Amino acid sequence: MSAHKSQYIERYNTAERLNHWVTAITFILLILSGFSLFHPALFWLTNLFGGGPWTRILHPFIGVVMFGSFASLALRFWHHNILSKNDIQWLKQIPDVIQNFEDRLPEVDRYNAGQKLLFWTMIATIPTLFITGIIIWQPWFTPWFPRNVDRFAVLLHALCAFIMSTGIIVHVYAAIWVKGTMRAMVRGTVERAWVKKHHPGWYKRLEQGRDH
C-alpha cells in the first residue's frame, strides 16, 4: 500500500510570508503617498497620512523600510528566478499562456518565466527608486549632489515608480487569476494538484527530494 500523501505542500514559511507582506503593505502606502504628491488632482489622498506635510515627511521613511524589506525578500528568492532554456521557450509561447493551453508549454519549475521577469523588473526598479529617492530627499541629502542631478533623479523616480507599480498590478492580477495561488502567501501551502498543474518541474524535484 502506498504511503499517505498530504493534500498540501509547503511553499513559503512564516518568515518568508511576513517578509512578503511587509513589502506589500509598504508598497501600497508608497503608491498612495507617492501618487498624492505626484499630481494636484490626487492631493486629496494626503488626508490618509495626516495632510500634505506629513505625507511628504512619511513617504521617504516608508520607502527606506520597503527597500530593506525587499532586499531581504530578494536575497531569499533570487536563486529561484534564474531564467532557463524552458523559460525562453515559455516566453515564445505567450499566446498559449494567455489562452490557458498549459499542456503545450515546456515544463515549469518553481516559478514560471513571467514571475521571473517580474522579479528582475523589481530588482532593477526598487534600488533605482531608493537611490533617486535619497537624491531628492530634501533638505537632508539633496545638497550633497551636484546641482540639477536632483531634477534628473525626480524623473527617473517617477518612471521607475510607474514601471514597478504596473508590474505589481500584473503580479496581483496573476496571483488572483491562477486559482489556488493566494493561499501560498496567506497560508504558506498550496494544493498538490496546483503544483502538478502549474509547476510540474518543481513537483518532480519535490518527489525526488531535490528541492532546495
The window from 1-9, 23-31, 48-56, 82-90 that contacts ligand HEM (CB under 6 A) reads 23-31
Q: Taking CB under 6 A as the rule, does residue 23 contact ligand HEM? A: yes
Cell of 172: 496581483
Based on the shown chain and the rule CB under 6 A, indicate whether residue 27 belongs to the binding site for ligand HEM: yes
Residues 90/113, Cβ–Cβ less than 8 Å: yes
User: Nearest distance from residue 28's CB to ligand HEM, in Å?
Assistant: 6
Q: Is 171 a catalytic residue?
A: yes
To ligand HEM, the closest distance from the beta carbon of 3 in angstroms equals: 26
| Identity of the residue, 142 or 181, whose beta carbon is nearer to ligand HEM in the bound complex | 181
Catalytic residue among 4, 39, 79, 171: 171
How many Cα atoms sit within 13 Å of 69 on the Cβ side?
Answer: 19
Interface with ligand HEM, residue 17, by CB under 6 A: no
The set of cell numbers assigned to 57 is 515627511
Binding mask 132-171 toward ligand HEM (x if CB under 6 A, else -) reads ------------------------------------x--x
Q: Does 122 bind ligand HEM (CB under 6 A)?
A: yes
CA distances from 1 to 9, 136, 193, 208 (A): 21, 66, 21, 19
Quote the Cα angle for 8-12-13, to 5°. Answer: 105
Point out which residues pair with 191 in neighbouring strands: 8
> Cα 152 to chain center, whole Å?
25
Helix (H) or strand (E) holding 113: helix 113-135
Rama region for 189: left / alpha / beta (φ>0; ψ in -120 to 50; rest): beta
Q: Which stretches within 39-84 are classed as H helix?
A: 52-77
Per-residue interface string for the shown chain with ligand HEM, residues 68-87, x marking contact by CB under 6 A: --x--x---x--xx------
Name the site residues for ligand HEM (rule: CB under 6 A): 11, 20, 23-24, 27-28, 70, 73, 77, 80-81, 111, 115, 119, 122, 168, 171-172, 175, 181-182, 184-185
Q: Which residues does the annotation mark as catalytic?
A: 171
